[in-house]
């Protein structure tokens, strides 16, 4: 058994492939998850559940098995299915005299700093009241522009939002495989680790192992340890909290950015790109300077003031991301010229790589 700092907060992500492998919510599995969460609560370990399953619940209730490509129809299924899904959870928590609450989020809730902090305060208050927050993407209103794409990413962002010590991603496989063997521990999610991903296509799910690794990278860079494990392993949640060897463990980074920079790096959606010359690259990477307009050689995308953009060198290598003080039109017009203030202040820049 490995020993880690005491886990007081855990985010548990359960996907559609685990919840509804046959296209219908597995009530017994839900009961097991709920019981484990209740047992943890009695030991003063607070849990936040990020649960998929709204769309498949709506489809099941209507008697449909094939997931449509029409987003309006998917939104309708999600709207209906979210009620069904929450009823399933609420009934089972009630049997343990426990309350749960629904929190639906889109990327806009993370992209806007005020809404981001409001989401944190709501979840914190629920936890303080002894209520289990159940979070899902708000599929009923989400468009491509504001979708996370999968709940793996959402679970990582929520883990950082509430400063959890552990993110447990429940999958339909044992963990990350290298050949036929499960990788037990990953210290750094680099290109070699990403190459281990094998693409699988499921008609009912949005994420695969690739999205889980990206989520793990977000969480570990925020100082949170991550476990990807089979959701049908008996007592999988308690085993993860105890530090038992299950699935694949991703070790957290020791050095983490402060909260606002983590929000810029992961919570803000990238709206454009700024290509800079060698002088600007040297200044922002190695001398801790702010980015000035005279160092920009190319502007891509449409963005507004305070949006997040990627900063790249002239060869297209990503240097980092940051918040801009000008919109894209202003920067295109001023390219190569010096403006009154910096384009990106050094306090609002996060290095990548």
Determine the pLDDT at residue 352.
78
Residue 222: CB partners within 8 Å, gap ≥ 6? 156, 159, 160, 252, 253, 256, 262, 266
**What class does CATH assign to 269-351?**
mainly beta
- Residue labelled with tokens 């036929």: 180
Residue 295: Cβ-neighbour burial (10 angstroms; 0-12, 13-18, 19+): buried
The three-class DSSP label of residue 227 is strand
* In contact, 283 and 314? CB cutoff 8 Å: no
The three-class DSSP label of residue 200 is coil
Domain boundaries, the chain: 9-259, 269-351
Give the pLDDT confidence of 56-105 residue by residue, as tens digits.
999 999 998 888 888 889 889 999 999 999 999 999 999 999 999 999 99
The three-class DSSP label of residue 229 is strand
DSSP state letter for 348:
G
Give the range among 15-29, 218-232, 247-261 with minimum mean pLDDT.
Answer: 247-261
Region 205-213 average pLDDT: 76
pTM (predicted TM-score): 0.86
Residue 200 has pLDDT above 60, yes or no: no
Give the pLDDT confidence of 10-57 residue by residue, as tens digits.
999 999 999 998 889 999 999 999 999 999 999 999 999 999 999 999
Give the pLDDT confidence of 278-308 residue by residue, as tens digits.
999 999 999 999 999 999 999 999 999 999 9
* In contact, 304 and 329? CB cutoff 8 Å: no
Give the range among 173-182, 225-234, 310-319 with minimum mean pLDDT.
Answer: 173-182
- What six digits make up the tokens of 208? 């695969």
* In contact, 218 and 252? CB cutoff 8 Å: no
Indicate the CATH number for domain 9-259: 3.40.1160.10
Write a three-state SS string for 46-93.
EEEEEECCHHHHHHHHHCCCCCCCCHHHHHHHHHHHHHHHHHHHHHHH
Given 3-state DSSP classes, what are the helix, strand and coil percentages for the chain, each rounded to the nearest 5?
40, 20, 40
Say how many C-beta atoms besides its own lie within 10 A of residue 274's C-beta. 28
For 49, 90, 222, 234, 241, the CA distances from 167, given in Å and listed in that order, are 10, 22, 11, 18, 10
Give φ, ψ of 263 to 5 degrees: -65, -45
Q: Are strands 9-14 and 166-171 parallel, antiparallel or unpaired?
A: parallel
């Amino acid at each position: 058994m490995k020993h880690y700092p005491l886990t007081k907060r855990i985010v548990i992500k359960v996907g559609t492939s685990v919840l509804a492998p046959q296209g219908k919510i597995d009530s017994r599995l839900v009961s097991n998850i709920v019981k484990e969460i209740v047992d943890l609560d009695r030991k003063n370990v607070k849990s936040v559940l990020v649960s998929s399953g709204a769309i498949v619940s709506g489809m099941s209730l209507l008697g449909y098995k094939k997931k449509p490509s029409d987003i309006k129809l998917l939104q309708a299924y999600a709207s209906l299915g979210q009620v069904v899904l929450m009823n399933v959870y609420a009934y089972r928590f009630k049997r343990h005299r426990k309350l749960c609450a629904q929190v639906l989020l889109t990327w806009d809730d993370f992209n806007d700093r005020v809404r981001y902090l409001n989401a944190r305060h709501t979840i914190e208050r629920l936890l303080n009241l002894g209520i289990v927050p159940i979070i899902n993407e708000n599929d009923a209103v989400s468009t491509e522009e504001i979708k996370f794409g999968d709940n793996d990413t959402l679970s990582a962002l929520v883990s950082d939002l509430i400063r959890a010590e552990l993110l447990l991603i429940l999958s339909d496989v044992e963990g990350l495989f290298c050949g036929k063997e499960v990788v037990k521990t990953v210290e750094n999610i680099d290109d070699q680790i990403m190459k281990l991903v094998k693409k699988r296509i499921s008609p009912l799910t949005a994420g695969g192992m690739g999205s889980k690794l990206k989520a793990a990278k977000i969480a570990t860079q925020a100082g949170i340890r991550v476990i990807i494990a089979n959701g049908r392993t008996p007592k999988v949640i308690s085993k993860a909290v105890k530090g038992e060897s299950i699935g694949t463990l991703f070790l957290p980074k020791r050095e983490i950015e402060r909260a606002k920079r983590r929000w810029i790096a992961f919570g803000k959606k990238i709206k454009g790109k700024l290509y800079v010359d060698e002088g600007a690259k040297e200044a922002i990477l190695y001398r801790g300077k702010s980015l000035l307009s005279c160092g920009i050689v190319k502007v891509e995308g449409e963005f507004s003031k305070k949006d997040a953009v990627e900063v790249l060198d002239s060869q297209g290598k990503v240097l980092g991301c940051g918040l801009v003080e000008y919109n894209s039109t202003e920067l295109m017009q001023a390219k190569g010229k010096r403006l009154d203030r910096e384009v990106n202040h050094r306090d609002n820049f996060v290095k990548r790589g």
